[in-house]
Amino acid sequence: MSTTWTDAVVVARYEATPRIAVFDLARADGDELWEYEPGAHIDVQVATGLVRQYSLCGPPGVRKQYRIAVLDEAASRGGSRAMHALAEGDTLRIAAPRNRFGLTSVRRHVLLAGGIGITPLLSMAQSLDATGGDYHLHYCARSRSEAAFLADLENHPRVTLHFDDQGPEQRLDLGRDLGEPVPGTAVYVCGPGGFMDYVLGRAAELGWPASALHKERFSASPPPPPPAAAAAGGGGESGGGGEGGFTVRLSSTGAEYLVPEDRSVLDVLLANGVEAPNSCGQGICGECIVRVCAGEPDHRDDVLTDEERAEGLFTPCSSRSKSPILELEL
């Protein structure tokens, strides 16, 4: 269940914008990299104990190199700054691609990107161009100078660019650019949290069902507000609710561990020597997903669909329990 890493070298680097650096990575031993489908991302270990996820934005099928683009975040937790310090010839470690944001089997695709969210959608657009798929990409950025891959996109007949610093008539208008639901159409959204919340909320207002909306976040959504009962003092650890402590039980051994309010299920499992897959720690990558055997989960991830939650899937890194005991298939 542990992640397998391979050494990689930065074979090229360039600045796509003043804040976005593009890196081409190849295996240090010269072998081919793993195959992947558009929308996939990789784990990048830029320093000991520092792992971040970056979408692959090169054309799928090219196994000699991976391409990623990294935004220099002002509020970086260390990942983007470490990546921006890399130069051509530097080495790092990467893991095999994972994909929970792939293209679905529908007639038409609408791609909605905000800022650095262009990275997985660019790979999708390249794949659809190669296969003759029907799509349109809407790319929103603050300005032309902050739009990565602009040279590849600005004259593309299936791409519309939207810049915050230009006239209102060219800004994203979901009533016009997305419209009401069309059978056989899927919508893919990626970008900063505010952009995604706006797009997904407006799409729902327009009548798009959740099953047609596909998303990938680069950071976790804010946690939900505490329940009214807990805020009034009716919660607490003895209740076992999502805001208090609860017990996690392993189905394989029956072992039980207390999960206090200030620690995640994953933290507790790892601290007790339980071998549990993990990566982002924020509920956005899907690496840690397990199945619930008993109990009522309190889902707080941004990766599982409603159908997957109904099937009993659960993210120990971010979600909690509404019941006093939550039994996991571990």
| Tens digits of pLDDT across the chain (330 residues) | 457 899 999 999 999 999 999 999 999 999 999 999 999 999 999 887 788 999 999 988 889 999 999 999 876 667 888 999 999 999 999 999 999 899 999 999 999 999 999 999 999 999 999 999 999 999 999 999 999 999 999 999 999 999 999 999 999 999 999 999 999 999 999 999 999 999 999 999 999 999 999 999 876 665 555 544 334 343 333 345 556 799 999 999 999 999 999 999 999 998 999 988 787 777 778 888 999 999 999 999 888 888 889 999 999 999 999 999 999 999
Kindly report the CATH number that applies to the domain delimited by 5-95.
2.40.30.10
* CATH class, range 108-216: alpha beta
Residues forming CATH 2.40.30.10 domain(s) in the chain: 5-95
Instruction: Give CA–CA dist 65/4, Å, rounded.
Output: 18
CB 181 within 8 A of CB 197: no
Global confidence as pTM? 0.80
- The correct CATH number of 240-328 out of 3.10.20.30, 3.40.1010.20, 3.40.50.1820, 3.65.10.10 is 3.10.20.30
Which residues make up the CATH 3.10.20.30 domain(s) of the chain? 240-328
CA separation for the pair 25, 62 (Å, rounded): 11
Beta carbons within 8 Å of 246's beta carbon, 6+ residues apart: 240, 258, 259, 320, 321, 323, 324, 325, 326
Location of each CATH 3.40.50.80 domain in the chain: 108-216
